[in-house]
């Protein structure tokens, strides 16, 4: 075989054996795609209690929450043509299983993705403390002292996913230009001291706010967002009104519409059926359906988009 022909065949053979490159990110795509929820129009996606959404904006691809079940998240992502190996980062809003239970699937396809999660004392995502945090008694013999009386400078405590690349957030933080995580803490009796992260994106039209369950109260989260920009352009996600009484629902709906002047609302997950109805009545054309599989354009007039393939 002639040398030049042998070289050509070698090059062709190597190219055929090489894996196909991942599709490039579309820097122009600006939308939210609902990958996990318990309501939606008929499709190949599976409904289940939980929440996950893919946010694409400003050239970033962000997975917000992972739903309850890794197999269902995998099924829904594949049905929607969403490649979760190609993310800039992920966010876990809070420690409840219906928002983080699908994490094993994400880690199976994207093991080193940076994952932002709330910092909690000895939390499921890990924790750390200075070695000086506890009182010491130097009169005790070494065998009765922690670390023989010489603790590490920093004590690191494990997480449920020891190999995951967590970054723990304790206060509202800008994690990318124009993209912040709003940190709030619940004072409600059933979720007292639960820490929750919400995603706030600066857009020319105001803040786009993506929420997981709003355990601290959607009004409290929106109040924190208005400190960044008083214009709340869009809220998407769970508002945790699923068991709320009508009077409480009406109070929240009125505050969002009249006090905070929210332009558009796309409720999902734990918002609750009576709250869906109340919000749709109050916001009329500015109420956006956001069931499983829905794609919502982020722009001056948010609305449905075709998100069949990513």
- Asked whether the CA dihedral 105, 109, 112, 116 is positive or negative, the reply is negative
| Together in a domain, 228 and 148 | no
**Is 20 among the domain residues?**
no
Domain count, the chain: 2
Query: Does 137 lie in the same domain as 52?
Result: no
- 77 and 113 co-located in one domain: yes
Residues 72, 177 within the same domain: yes
Query: CA 64 → CA 78, 100, 148, 230, distances in Å?
Result: 17, 10, 43, 23
Integer Cα distance of 288 and 285 in angstroms = 8
Which of the four pLDDT bands, split at 50, 70 and 90, describes residue 28?
A: confident
Would you say residue 20 has pLDDT above 80?
no
Q: Are 297 and 303 in contact (CB under 8 A)?
A: yes
Whether residue 24 has pLDDT greater than 90: no
pLDDT at 25 (0 to 100): 58
Of the residues 139, 159, 179, the one at which a domain ends: 159
Q: Full-prediction pTM beyond 0.85?
A: yes
Tell me the average pLDDT across 6-28.
Answer: 45
- Mean pLDDT (the chain) is 92
DSSP 61: E
Q: Is the pLDDT of residue 19 over 90?
A: no
Residues 265, 144: one domain?
Answer: no
- Are 196 and 291 part of one and the same domain? yes
Would you say residue 291 has pLDDT above 90? yes
| Residues 157 and 122 sit within 8 Å (Cβ to Cβ) | yes
User: What is the rounded distance in angstroms from the CA atom of residue 148 to the CA atom of residue 112?
Assistant: 35
Do 104 and 238 sit in the same domain of this protein? yes
Residues 95 and 244 in one domain: yes
- On the question of pLDDT at 26 being above 90, the answer is no
Residues 48 and 174 placed together within one structural domain of the fold:
yes
- Span 201-222, pLDDT tens digits: 999 999 999 999 999 999 999 9
155 & 175 share domain? no
Last residue of a domain, one of 114, 139, 159: 159
Strands lying side by side in the sheet with 165-169: 165-169, 114-118, 89-91, 60-64, 52-57, 31-36, 295-297, 303-305
Domain that holds residue 147: 128-159
pLDDT in tens, 106-160: 999 999 999 999 999 999 999 999 999 999 999 999 999 999 999 999 999 999 9
Question: Is the residue at 10 inside a domain?
Answer: no
Q: Which of 125, 123, 121, 135 is nearest to 90 (CA)?
A: 125
CATH number of the domain residue 114 falls in: 3.60.15.10
Res 45 pLDDT > 70: yes
Same domain, 154 and 164: no
Same structural domain for residues 63 and 203? yes
Q: Is 226 helix (H, G, I), strand (E, B) or coil?
A: helix
Q: Which of 111, 143, 159 is the last residue of a domain?
A: 159
Residue 7 domain-assigned? no
What is the Cα–Cα distance from 168 to 185, expressed in whole angstroms?
A: 14
């Amino acid at each position: 075989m002639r040398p030049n022909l042998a070289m050509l065949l070698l090059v062709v053979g190597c190219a055929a054996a090489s894996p196909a490159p991942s599709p490039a990110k579309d820097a122009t795509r600006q939308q939210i795609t609902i990958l996990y929820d318990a309501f939606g129009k008929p499709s190949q996606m599976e409904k289940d209690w939980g929440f996950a959404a893919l946010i694409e904006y400003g050239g970033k691809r962000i997975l917000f929450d992972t739903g309850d079940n890794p197999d269902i998240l995998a099924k829904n992502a594949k049905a929607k043509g969403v490649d979760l190996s190609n993310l800039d980062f992920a966010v876990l809003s809070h420690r409840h299983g219906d928002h983080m239970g699908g994490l094993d699937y994400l880690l199976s396809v994207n093991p080193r993705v940076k994952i932002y999660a709330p910092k909690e004392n000895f939390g499921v995502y890990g924790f750390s403390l200075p070695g000086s945090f506890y009182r010491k008694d130097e009169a005790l013999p070494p065998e009765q002292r922690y670390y023989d009386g010489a603790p590490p400078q920093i004590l690191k405590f494990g997480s449920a996913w020891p190999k995951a690349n967590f970054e723990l957030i304790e206060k509202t933080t800008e994690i990318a230009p124009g993209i912040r995580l709003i940190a709030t803490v619940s004072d409600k009796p059933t979720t007292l001291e639960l820490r929750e992260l919400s995603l706030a994106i600066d857009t020319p039209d105001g803040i786009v706010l993506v929420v997981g369950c709003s355990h601290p109260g959607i009004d409290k989260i929106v109040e924190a967002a208005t400190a960044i920009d008083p214009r709340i352009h869009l809220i998407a996600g769970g508002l945790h009104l699923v068991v709320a009484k009508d009077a409480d629902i009406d109070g929240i709906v009125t505050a969002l519409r009249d006090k905070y002047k929210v332009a558009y609302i796309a409720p999902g997950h734990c918002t609750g059926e009576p709250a869906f109805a109340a919000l749709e009545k109050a916001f009329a054309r500015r109420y956006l359906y956001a069931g499983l599989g829905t794609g919502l354009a982020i722009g001056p007039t948010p609305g449905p988009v075709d998100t069949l393939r990513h």
